[in-house]
Amino acid sequence: METLRFLMVTTFYPPYHLGGDAVHVQYLARALAARGHEVHVEFSPAAYGLKRKENGTPPSDSEDGVLLHPIPGDGWGAPVAAHLLGRSGSVRRFHTQLLDRVRPEIVHHHNISLLGLDVLQPRRDARALYTAHDYWVLCPRSDLFKYGRYPCDTPTCLRCSLVSGRPPQLWRYGRSWRGLPGVDCAIAPSAYMARTIRTTMGCPVVHIPNFAPDSDPDPGAGGSGGYFLFVGVLETHKGVSELVAASGRKEFPIRIVGRGSLYEPLRHLAETRADGLRVEGWVSRDRLLELYRGARALVIPSLWPENAPLAAVEAMSCGTPLLVSRRGGLEELLHGGATGFSFEPDADGILGAIDRFEGTGNPSVLRMGARSAYERFHHPEAYLRTYLDVVRGDVPDGGADDPAPEGTAPTVGLS
């Protein structure tokens, strides 16, 4: 087997991370290293400090065979400059020196939102990839969720940033902003994302379904806990409030895993209700897998056009069915109904999906469907087969040429 040198470029990397994009980078880096490839990861602890308003301890030099390169700097100046101006001199210098030292054959960019565009400068001796974990190439909020209230249908990005309380990204409004320079191929975790970003990217866009490590080869009966599960950041766009409202009407038990601005209100609400609502906050991976296995189904009631959340793939690896909103790429994860059902993300829609799920009479069929879909589409081996083809320049046909779906915002609006 030919071994290659990879450099993963990402704003966040565990434990300095906020969401599933960084966990995906870790999963991919570990999977490649386990197959004998040399894998380096460049990331910014300062960016994590800016988001969390704290500074962590310096990470080790390596982890599970992956070589780590934290960008030095304790202050928040570099990530702030990258956000506002699209570049940071200190990040550019570190990145250039790292490229010269490592000499990677593959440079794979992930979430670079707080690193700046300079890390994208083309290099003749390396193939450059980019994974669209969110809508950052299109949207200053990265979520196409206008004003933080509803899906975007008309781009008024500057106004949206100001109303959302976010500093404007001035670099987006310059003439030089035309997609991502120097990227040879983009990877989209959902077909929806591939269609949405293609006209902006200016390079081939390949859909590779998201993956997660095989956490439970024999999920067994599962669902023994009798509850429905939510896993994700506790913010408005995730639809967790709609889920809790639905549970209050029918009183079905829910476990909520995650943190965010809604954590304290939800925790206080759980203390006053006797219907099985429990808010667990963030939990260890072992505890999370235990919750997946015990859940009747994972509920993803997102209001924004979700891409391909890692929680759904992890749940399928445990044989846990899915109930997902009809937003973004979520319905793709149902694989034609083999893994669960979809709904409109409001209380009535959620209750309808719960009723439909309970009316199946044989949930084990959906559990087997979820596990089968994981093994076929979302197993690490399935991901790496297509990924390594893309690495070698063998870009598959189809999917990426579909027109952008209705309701997406392919350009940045100045108003």
Quote the CA–CA distance of 88 and 111 in Å, as a whole number: 15
Quote the CA–CA distance of 12 and 108 in Å, as a whole number: 14
Quote the CA–CA distance of 354 and 161 in Å, as a whole number: 36
User: What pLDDT is recorded for position 55?
Assistant: 59
Residue 155 has pLDDT above 80, yes or no: yes
Beta-bridged to residue 40, according to DSSP, are 7, 67
Which of 404, 390, 399 lies closest to 106, judged by CA? 390
Domains present along the chain, CATH in parentheses: 5-211+384-391 (3.40.50.2000), 227-378 (3.40.50.2000)
Question: Residue 383 CB: number of other CB atoms within 10 A?
Answer: 23
User: What pLDDT is recorded for position 251?
Assistant: 81
Judge residue 385's burial from the number of C-beta atoms within 10 Å of its C-beta, 0-12 exposed, 13-18 middle, 19 or more buried. Answer: exposed
Name the 3-class secondary structure at 266.
helix
Q: Are 82 and 114 in contact (CB under 8 A)?
A: yes
* Length of the chain in terms of residues written: 415
Residue 410 has pLDDT above 70, yes or no: no
pLDDT tens digits along 209-257: 999 999 866 655 677 889 999 999 999 999 999 999 999 888 889 999 9
Quote the CA–CA distance of 312 and 320 in Å, as a whole number: 9
Quote the CA–CA distance of 10 and 23 in Å, as a whole number: 11
What single-letter DSSP state applies at residue 374? I
pLDDT tens digits along 105-128: 999 999 999 999 999 987 888 999
Residue type, 205: V
Quote the CA–CA distance of 46 and 83 in Å, as a whole number: 13
Q: What is the dihedral of CA 92, 97, 103, 105, to 10 degrees?
A: -10
Q: Greater confidence, 202 or 178? A: 202
Task: At 101, give phi and psi (nearest 5°).
Answer: -80, -45
Quote the CA–CA distance of 228 and 206 in Å, as a whole number: 33
* 124-133, 161-170, 346-355: least confidently modelled range: 161-170
Quote the CA–CA distance of 322 and 298 in Å, as a whole number: 5
